[in-house]
Amino acid sequence: MLDKKKHHFLQLVVIFGAITLLTLLFAWGSREGTTSSMGMMGQSMGSMMQSMHAKNVTISDLIKQQEQTEMSSGMSSHHESGSMSIKISHYLTTGIIIVLLPFIIAGAVFLGIVWWK
């Protein structure tokens, strides 16, 4: 029979399974007839970008800076028109990530050395 210790896990599985099933039924029901060809759209962002930009990529391509394209500069001017709160959160989040990243890497290297012993 079922392991009693795993009873709570199985309860969770049933609950999440039901939620997933209901969501899928809802999604399929509301999008009937709209499913177009799944060529490029069926791919995920990572796979799509990998096939477009990183298929024959070399190490030097990963390091060197590219010239800003017309599209991306257009995008940045588009983002400049955003509200003040978005700008503040952008600077705040970017700041947190850029400032803390070297400390995280340094801490990870330190722990790697200490734990390895």
Copy the structure tokens of residue 29.
């029901």
Whether 79 and 72 have beta carbons less than 8 Å apart is answered as no
Residue 63 binds other proteins, judged by CB under 8 A: yes
Beta-carbon contacts of residue 2 (< 8 Å; ≥ 6 apart): 10
* 107 near other proteins, judged by CB under 8 A: yes
Site for other proteins in 6-35 (CB under 8 A): 6, 8-9, 12, 23, 27, 31
Return the residue of 14, 22, 88, 104 that touches other proteins, per CB under 8 A: 104
103 binds other proteins (CB under 8 A): yes
Print the binding letters for residues 71-90 with other proteins: x by CB under 8 A, - otherwise: -xx-xx---------x--xx
Length of the chain: 117
Residue 112 and residue 105 in contact, taking contact as beta carbons nearer than 8 Å: no
